Amino acid sequence: MIDVSEETIKKNCPHCDPNSFALKYPLEKYENFWIVCDVHPLIEGHILIISKKHLSCIGAYPENIFQEFLLIYKRFINFLKIQYGSVAVFEHGRLGQTVFHSHIHLFPFKGSSSTIVPEGKDKLKQILNLSELITIYEKDGGYLFFAINSNLFLVDKTLSAPRFFRDRFARVLGRVERCNWKEMRTDKAIMKKATKEIHNLQDKWRKFTK
């Protein structure tokens, strides 16, 4: 039997270890968060906001960590909008996770919500602010959250699947070869391109923060 206990998950969590490959390309460090370049980017500009503490998602953040997150979120949203013109965000709030540790994806994206969830408007619910994720998590125990610029959405939980958002954004971006990050990391040609994209992002961040 496979051990899927919380203790085992934490012990093997790539986001709990500050020396892990997942944290290889840091951008900035805060009291409760690491901000890094995604080592398996969908596109240049792909950033992860990772909690230092082993928490499942934004909805599980204590108040002090949530307030710090909001400041970080706004800072990096602003950076991506200035550098790339538009931004998308997603988080698998426990649903669809393949790494069971809070990590929020931010990356350049120009498109509509219907391209990500073509199943229809009845499968989407627009929310007004990120604090709603805490209430929803307490009530339902999970969620699928994404945003395109200032528009925030929840997706019907019945659509949940592993890598739900990664797969869909990759297809819309025309990068289906990057859907599965576990397969992507074994492809030397893709990873060579990805590393160049990461270095470009790091350069933009350094110039932005001077």
1, part of any domain: no
To 10 degrees, what angle do helices 63-84 and 188-208 make?
100
Domain count, the chain: 1
Give the CATH number, domain containing residue 83.
3.30.428.10
80, part of any domain: yes
77, part of any domain: yes
pTM recorded for the entire structure:
0.90
27, part of any domain: yes
Q: Which domain holds residue 144?
A: 6-205
210, part of any domain: no
Going residue by residue through the chain, which has 210 residues, state the pLDDT in tens, using 9 for 90 and above.
Answer: 344 445 545 556 665 666 676 889 999 999 999 999 999 999 999 999 999 998 989 999 999 999 999 999 999 999 999 999 999 999 998 776 666 678 999 999 999 999 999 999 999 999 999 999 999 999 998 999 999 999 999 999 999 999 999 999 999 999 999 999 999 999 999 999 999 999 999 999 999 998
